[in-house]
Amino acid sequence: MSAPSTLVIGMGPGLGQALVKKFAREGHRVAFVGRRAEAIARYEQELRAEGLDVAGFVGDAGKPEEMDHVHAAIRERHGDAEALIYNAAIIEPARFVTPSRLGEVKYGTADGWKSHGEAASVDYVVDAFRTNVAGALHAAQAVAPGMIDRGRGTILLTGGVLAFGPWIEWGVTSLGKAALRSLGHSLEKELTPAGIHVSTVAIHGTMQAGTPYDHDLVAAAYWRLHVQPRAEWQPDFHVKQDAEDGGDPDV
């Protein structure tokens, strides 16, 4: 019997890489997708050098026609996915009406994010929505039929505390995370009867090595969700240090 297959959409040097490593180390064949060909090739080479069964694919999660080809190539190589992790997002501080008062948004000692600067245009919001939300729907539609036929599967969406209340400098991202959470709840209602576990992971802090939001610790939480007994399934899962986490640091 072949090893189970996991698909991670949204590969990068932080959580994406930690997720790929965790699931591969647990015995899964992992396909991962990102936009930059050179980076994907490098990640694949480095991870295979660690003895992990991984394969990288180049694709833009916000472009469904492009992703159709990616999903077909992954199915041909790995078969139907047993687990989908949607980790793709456009993460850039942006307000809706007024320009940002910050050139960079930074919390604690973690790396910051360069601000979009001017107020977000409608086109910018729509483009962000394609990646932050519509891409997750497209991915779920691609993997769900195989999961339904098999009677099991896991779909995990990378959300955040922004889904529960927008932060001043993160209007566009907050909108996307709230919509992604709503999508996750709808998918959970549709797919739970088919034996598919759908959960949106709300990360309540800035991920940084050596903290409670270390990428490896967060990735381990995703794995626990994948193997979680059905009786414990919930549409939301919170990664948080303590009950006080979740306030708006931009206030």
Per-residue pLDDT in tens (0 to 9) along the chain, 251 residues? 578 999 999 999 999 999 999 999 999 999 999 999 999 999 999 999 999 999 999 999 999 999 999 999 999 999 999 999 999 999 999 999 999 988 899 887 778 899 998 999 999 999 999 999 999 999 999 999 999 999 999 999 999 999 999 999 999 999 999 999 999 999 999 999 999 999 999 999 888 888 889 999 999 999 999 999 999 999 999 998 776 676 677 76
**Other beta carbons within 10 Å of 78:** 21
Residue 113 CA to residue 154 CA, distance in Å, equals 31
Q: pTM value?
A: 0.95
User: ∠146-139-80 over CA atoms, to 5°?
Assistant: 25
Residues 6+ apart with CB under 8 A from 163: 174, 177, 178, 180, 181, 200, 202
pLDDT of residue 36: 96
Q: For the domain 5-90+132-238, what is the CATH code?
A: 3.40.50.720
Residues 6+ apart with CB under 8 A from 49: none
Q: One-letter amino acid identity for 155?
A: I
**Backbone torsions φ then ψ of 220, nearest 5 degrees:** -65, -35
CB–CB of 128/176 below 8 Å?
yes
Q: What tokens were used for 110?
A: 């973690």
